[in-house]
Structure 1
Amino acid sequence: MQSENPLVSDFIKLANSAAGTLAGMGREARDGARERMKEALGGLDFVSREEFDAVKDMAGRAREKVDVLEARLTVLEAKLAGSSTAP
């Protein structure tokens, strides 16, 4: 049977506490750095991926409508040009 040395036991408790404290400090440092980065980038007018995708979809639909309107305009101009040259 091993005899427990109170000095060793206290040292182990101290080491465990220090490890927990260091881990907590690391998390706090990481979270603090993340917050500072968000604040720094917040003023740069970045958009979220969702906003970007939504505007990209809107632009695509607008482009499709323009293509359709251009085709209709071409047909109407051809009709107009054909009727003005006929006697």
Structure 2
Amino acid sequence: MPTSQSRDGLVALAVAAVVVVTVLIGTFAPASHGRSGPVSPATDASCAEWSDGCTVCRRDGEGIACSMPGIACVPKAELCQRHSGG
């Protein structure tokens, strides 16, 4: 039967091995670049006007301006209503 000191050493070695393997996986695993989902109209520079059904936002030369939502409005997904130049 292993002694308490021997068991503690095995546990410490197992924890160290898990840490080393985790660091190696994080270092050598391929990184995912780019977006994994759709681009939000607020971050899409080609979208000049978008809405979530409650507020309407417009992008112009001075920046972004949004309307105030209605009192009982339930927002939905943001959709681009008008693209720049069209």
Q: TM-score, normalised by structure 2?
A: 0.43
Instruction: Give the strand-richer structure, 1 or 2.
Output: 2
Q: Which has the higher contact order (CA 8 A, sep 6+)?
A: 2
Instruction: Give the helix-richer structure, 1 or 2.
Output: 1
Q: TM-score, normalised by structure 1?
A: 0.42
